């Protein structure tokens, strides 16, 4: 008999769903709803409300609630066997926050299926809009909290990350400073993930250790709210936060709203949601310490799982709780594809195929040529003044510059992930540039590790569906093993494995020292 589990992912631009059948180990349904297209009246662009201040990025919590109704209606229409779903879980874009007044609990407990979620939730918000992860308007608050906590190193070791503009704590502090009355009227604060989980559960849902770690408010080692961090952020904050819990933990039966309106199984369990990055780590099948994935997208992101909680004393990387227990790390390099594209355009290279051929035509190590591609302000290492830096590299040599940009990016990844003390056994790669074997060879050689390509359609919602299955099995006393649970759902692309070349590895083991020296020199000048 089918065992169906539902996973939802509320990302910046869309709400997606994946239904899995644990018996056949198959994804049986997937769908996405794009906010800009499906909910025109919010006038969002890429999920963000319009506005003049480029540092301010907000979205509408009502839009996320409306999307939830629309997606459930769509599932019902498409004949998804909602009556057989055993549990629901989900994930949300990290860091975004939702502010409620004292009416929230009653509204959630009495969701009326004759009305929409939007109507049910009218009048419960203490703040109309939600700052999201793209917001960078809280530099002052970051500095204030960091100072009160005692500096970068201490903040990172306490909360898992240095203070970052998009993190929820600095955002809450800004709200408290700029609108103290509305802050005082706020009885409860949710993350995007816990806001949606609350609707499914019909009560205020806990925040999980994964998403909670993206707030600069959670004690990363003990997985409890850090009183020190709460105090450094805003008054009476503890009273406004829900409890922390493991993602996938059962909250209770799903709200009757979804049962009556969409025919959801009355026995279906609502579980704690997580952030999109922790969920995607699950969806990619990364559950054992030392497993690493690299997404070569607009920005390049390095994800890893980690058993012991180590934090980055330079405050560049993040540590979050991982849904499979233990920890995960996330390091975001902003100048990813964007920088590769700039180089391709600069040298008039027609496509990525030609770019890859030029890289392959040059020797590993590039005869010592180094390129630091900080076309935009960089997160890792922290660079506020953009600039391109070349060392022993002729700007006129197109092929050498193509190799240099990718080598530089991969050397930077190796250097700036050393604090994790994780020697990866295998690296899974996703994203646009992962189609190019010449680039993947550079990655395998720099990291001295086999690299495999992985295709990730909706890996985040898949991770959420697996999380709901885990929660349901654990609740039934079945002691589920993550390794068994994720097996078969995510597979690397066949024959995509690239092994490191021993000679090239030796070259990069030396070149990393030069790279680090060049980076220090360049950082001294910016």
- Smallest distance from ligand XUL to CB 95, Å: 5
Select from 88-96, 345-353, 377-385, 492-500 the region that touches ligand XUL (CB under 6 A): 88-96
User: What tokens were used for 256?
Assistant: 């009757």
Q: Among residue numbers 196 through 215, which ones bind ligand XUL (CB under 6 A)?
A: 214
CA-CA distance, 337 to 343, in Å (whole number)? 10
Least Å from the CB of residue 473 to ligand XUL: 27
Closest CB to ligand XUL among 11 and 226? 11
Tokens of 485: 């649970």
CB 160 within 8 A of CB 220: yes
In 3D, which of 34, 117, 114, 30 has the Cα closest to residue 80? Answer: 30
Q: Judged by CB, which is closer to ligand XUL: 165, or 445?
A: 165
Q: In this chain, which of 4, 5, 8, 12 binds ligand XUL, going by CB under 6 A?
A: 12
What DSSP designation does 499 have?
A: P
Task: Please give the Cα distance from 176 to 184 (Å, whole number).
Answer: 8
Please report the DSSP string for 325-364 in residue order: SSEEEEEEESSSHHHHHHHHHHTT--SHHHHHHHHHTS-T
Let me know: does 451 contact 439? Beta carbons within 8 Å: no
| Cα separation, 126 vs 124, whole angstroms | 7
Nearer to ligand XUL, 11 or 362 (CB): 11
Q: Minimum distance from CB of 279 to ligand XUL (Å)?
A: 10
Number of residues that bind ligand XUL (CB under 6 A): 12
Shortest spacing between CB 132 and ligand XUL, in angstroms: 8
- Least distance to ligand XUL, CB of residue 134, Å: 8
Single residue of 10, 16, 60, 94 touching ligand XUL by CB under 6 A: 94
Q: Which residues pair with 16 in a beta bridge?
A: 9, 32
Cβ distance to ligand XUL smaller for residue 233 or 255: 233
Return d(Cα 248, Cα 468) in angstroms, integer: 5
Measured CA to CA in angstroms, residue 139 lies from 55, 61, 147, 174 at distances of: 10, 24, 12, 10
From 403, 405, 402, select the one nearest 389 (Cα to Cα): 405
Q: Which one among 32, 59, 93, 194 touches ligand XUL, defined by CB under 6 A?
A: 93
Nearer to ligand XUL, 10 or 401 (CB): 10
> With respect to ligand XUL, which residue has the nearer C-beta, 277 or 490?
277
Residues facing residue 165 across a β-bridge: none
- 133, two tokens: 């992860």
Alpha helices in 426-480 (DSSP H): 437-447, 459-475
* Helix pair angle (352-360, 437-447), 10° resolution: 50
Question: Which of positions 151-170 make contact with ligand XUL (CB under 6 A)?
Answer: 166
- The rounded distance, in Å, linking the Cα atoms of 412 and 269 is 44
Residue 192's closest CA among 315, 250, 279? 279
State whether residue 34 is helix, strand or coil: strand
**Closest approach of Cβ 346 to ligand XUL, in Å?**
28
Closer by beta carbon to ligand XUL, 35 or else 258: 35
DSSP conformation letters of 215-243: GT-EETTTTEE-HHHHHHH-TTHHHHSPP
Toward ligand XUL, which CB reaches closer, 47 or 471?
Answer: 47
Question: Least distance to ligand XUL from the beta carbon of 180, Å?
Answer: 27
Decide whether 92 or 289 has the Cβ nearer to ligand XUL: 92
| In the complex, least distance from residue 168 CB atom to ligand XUL, rounded to whole angstroms | 11
Contact (Cβ atoms closer than 8 angstroms) between residue 21 and residue 2: yes
Chain positions 327 to 386 lying near ligand XUL, rule: CB under 6 A, are 330
Contact with ligand XUL (CB under 6 A): which of 11, 17, 194, 274?
11
Q: At 89, which helix (H) or strand (E)? A: strand 85-92
Q: Which is nearer to ligand XUL, 173 or 318 (CB)?
A: 318
Q: Which of 91-99, 117-125, 202-210, 499-507 is the region at the interface with ligand XUL (rule: CB under 6 A)?
A: 91-99
- Angstrom distance (rounded) from CA 6 to CA 15: 13
Q: Which of 133, 175, 428, 515 binds ligand XUL (CB under 6 A)?
A: 133
Q: What are phi and psi of 13, to 5 degrees?
A: -105, -15
Q: How far is the CB of 334 from ligand XUL (least distance, A)?
A: 11
Could you tell me the smallest distance in angstroms from the CB atom of residue 11 to ligand XUL? 6
List 57, 58, 95, 240, residue binding ligand XUL (CB under 6 A): 95
Residue with tokens 């494995």: 497
Residues 6+ apart with CB under 8 A from 365: 407, 504, 507, 508, 510, 511
Other CB atoms closer than 10 Å to residue 79's CB: what's the count?
8
Minimal distance in Å, beta carbon 209 to ligand XUL? Answer: 15
Smallest distance from the beta carbon of 13 to ligand XUL, in angstroms? 9
- Which CB sits closer to ligand XUL, 277 or 291? 277
Contact 372, 519 (CB under 8 A): yes
Task: Give the residue with the Cβ less far from ligand XUL, 171 or 255.
Answer: 171
Q: Which stretch binds ligand XUL (CB under 6 A): 61-69, 73-81, 93-101, 177-185?
A: 93-101
Nearer to ligand XUL, 254 or 330 (CB): 330
* Beta carbon of residue 12, minimum distance to ligand XUL (angstroms, whole number): 5
240 binds ligand XUL (CB under 6 A): no
Q: Are 350 and 358 in contact (CB under 8 A)?
A: no
Question: By CB under 6 A, what part of segment 254-283 binds ligand XUL?
Answer: 275-277
Minimum distance of ligand XUL from residue 136's CB (angstroms) = 11
* Nearest residue (CB) to ligand XUL, 48 versus 234: 48
Which positions lie near ligand XUL, rule CB under 6 A?
11-12, 93-95, 133, 166, 214, 275-277, 330
């Amino acid at each position: 008999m089918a065992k169906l589990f539902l996973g939802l992912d509320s990302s910046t631009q869309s709400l997606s769903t994946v239904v899995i059948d644990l018996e056949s180990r198959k994804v049986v349904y997937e769908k996405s709803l794009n906010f800009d297209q499906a909910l025109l009246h919010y006038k969002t662009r890429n999920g963000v409300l319009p506005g003049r201040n480029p540092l301010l990025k907000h979205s509408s919590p009502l839009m996320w609630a409306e999307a939830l109704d629309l997606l459930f209606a769509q599932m019902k229409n498409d004949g998804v066997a909602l009556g057989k779903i055993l549990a629901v879980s989900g994930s949300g874009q990290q860091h975004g926050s939702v502010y409620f007044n004292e009416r929230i609990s009653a509204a959630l407990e009495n969701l009326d299926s004759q009305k929409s979620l939007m109507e049910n939730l009218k009048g419960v918000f203490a703040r109309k809009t939600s700052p999201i992860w793209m917001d960078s308007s809280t530099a002052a608050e970051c500095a204030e909290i960091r100072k009160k906590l005692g500096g970068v190193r201490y903040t990172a070791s306490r909360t898992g990350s240095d203070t970052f503009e998009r993190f929820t704590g600095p955002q809450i502090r800004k709200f408290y400073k700029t609108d103290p009355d509305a802050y005082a009227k706020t009885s409860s604060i949710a993350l995007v993930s816990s806001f949606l989980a609350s609707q499914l559960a019909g009560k205020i849902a806990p925040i999980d250790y994964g998403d909670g770690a993206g707030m600069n408010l959670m004690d990363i080692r003990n997985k409890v709210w850090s009183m020190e961090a709460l105090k450094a952020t805003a008054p009476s904050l503890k009273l406004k936060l829900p409890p922390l819990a493991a993602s996938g933990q059962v909250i209770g039966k799903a709200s009757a709203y979804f049962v009556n309106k969409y025919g959801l199984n009355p026995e279906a369990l609502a579980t704690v949601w997580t952030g999109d990055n922790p969920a995607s780590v699950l969806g990619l099948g990364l559950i054992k310490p030392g497993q690493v994935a690299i997404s070569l997208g607009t920005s390049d992101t390095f994800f890893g799982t980690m058993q012991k909680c180590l934090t980055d004393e330079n405050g560049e990387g993040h540590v979050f709780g991982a849904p499979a227990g233990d920890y995960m790390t996330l390091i975001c390099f902003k100048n990813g594809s964007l920088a590769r594209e700039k180089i391709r355009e600069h040298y008039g290279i027609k496509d990525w195929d030609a770019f890859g051929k030029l890289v392959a035509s040059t020797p590993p190590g590039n005869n010592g040529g180094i390129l630091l591609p900080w076309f935009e302000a960089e997160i890792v290492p922290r660079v506020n003044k953009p600039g391109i830096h070349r060392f022993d590299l002729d700007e006129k040599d197109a092929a050498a510059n193509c190799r240099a940009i990718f080598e530089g990016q991969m050397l930077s990844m190796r250097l700036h992930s050393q604090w994790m003390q994780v020697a990866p056994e295998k690296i899974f790669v996703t994203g646009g540039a992962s189609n190019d074997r010449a680039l993947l060879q550079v990655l395998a050689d720099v990291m001295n590790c086999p690299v495999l390509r992985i295709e990730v359609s909706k890996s985040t919602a898949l991770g959420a569906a697996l999380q709901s299955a885990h929660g349901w099995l654990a609740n039934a006393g079945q002691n589920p093993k993550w390794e068994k649970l994720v097996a078969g759902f995510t597979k690397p692309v066949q024959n995509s494995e690239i092994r490191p070349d021993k000679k090239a590895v030796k070259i990069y083991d030396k070149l990393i020292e030069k790279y680090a020296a060049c980076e220090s020199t360049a950082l001294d000048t910016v």
